[in-house]
């Protein structure tokens, strides 16, 4: 076991982890962050995506020890001010949430895109969510929601 310290959704966290423990397991089992979903467990579906220093990573393929000293964000970060982020509002409005299993990870990939690119085109959006599978929506509503949220964030001067 080793102790790791990192920022979790903007707050300092410290936990003991096994050498071979995944970040997915540490977040869910040790910290109770069950918004981070396990789908395939082998890096194919993207439901376990979290942001490491604002870049999407598959937490099923990331050792928990690699989180040491890093900035880890899960979907809870997006509404940590107590109100839904424009991306979350746009997903609801567009019908981009159906079963919801892909949604936390999809939102994080979209959020990371908007941090890098405030004015994404359709290609940028498709590329940004290409690592996140959705079995329900056919992606059209998700892409529309991200485009709409980008417009709102630009108007609000918001991340
Ligand atoms: S659980 Fe499918 S990529 Fe991690
Ligand atoms: S909403 Fe069901 S997998 Fe995306």
pTM, to two decimals: 0.96
Q: Which atom of ligand 1 is nearest to the CA of 60?
A: 4
What residue owns the CA closest to ligand 1's atom 3?
Answer: 43
Of the bound ligands, which one is closest to the alpha carbon of residue 39? 1
The reported pLDDT for the residue numbered 114 is 97
Whether the CB of 151 sits within 6 Å of ligand 1: no
* 141/100 Cα distance (integer angstroms): 13
State the closest ligand 1 atom to the C-alpha of 40, by its place in the atom list counted from 1.
2
For residue 101, how far is its CA from the centre of ligand 1 (angstroms)?
A: 12
Residue nearest to atom 4 of ligand 2 (CA): 134
Residue 155: the pLDDT is 76
Which domains, from first to last, does the chain contain? Answer: 2-76 (3.10.20.30), 79-156 (1.10.150.120)
Q: How far is CA 126 from the centre of its chain?
A: 16
Per-residue model confidence (pLDDT) at position 156? 73
- Would you state the pLDDT for residue 48? 98
pLDDT at position 63 is 98
Cα separation, 44 vs 42, whole angstroms = 6
Distance CA 11, CA 19 (A): 23
- pLDDT for res 157: 72
Measured in angstroms, how far is the CA atom of residue 59 from the centroid of ligand 1?
7
Please give the Cα distance from 29 to 51 (Å, whole number): 18
The pLDDT tens digits along the chain (159 residues) read: 999 999 999 999 999 999 999 999 999 999 999 999 999 999 999 999 999 999 999 999 999 999 999 999 999 999 999 999 999 999 999 999 999 999 999 999 999 999 999 999 999 999 999 999 999 999 999 999 999 999 998 777 777
Cβ(38) to ligand 1 under 6 A? Answer: yes
Nearest ligand for residue 142 CA: 2
Check if the beta carbon of residue 16 is closer than 8 Å to that of residue 1: yes
What is the per-residue pLDDT for 18?
98
């Amino acid at each position: 076991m080793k102790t790791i310290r990192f920022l979790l959704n903007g707050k300092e966290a410290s936990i003991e982890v096994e050498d071979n423990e995944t970040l997915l397991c540490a977040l869910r089992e040790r910290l109770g962050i069950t918004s981070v979903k396990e789908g395939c467990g082998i890096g194919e579906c993207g439901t376990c995506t979290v942001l490491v220093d604002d870049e999407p990573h598959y937490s099923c393929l990331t050792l928990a020890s690699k989180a040491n000293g890093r900035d880890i964000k899960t979907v809870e970060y997006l509404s940590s001010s107590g109100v839904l982020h424009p991306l979350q509002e746009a997903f609801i409005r567009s019908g981009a949430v159906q079963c919801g299993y892909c949604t936390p990870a999809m939102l994080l990939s979209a959020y990371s895109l908007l941090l890098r690119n405030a004015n994404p085109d359709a290609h940028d959006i498709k590329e940004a969510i290409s690592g996140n599978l959705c079995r329900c929506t056919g992606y059209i509503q998700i892409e529309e929601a991200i485009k709409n949220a980008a417009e709102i964030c630009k108007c609000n001067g918001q991340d």
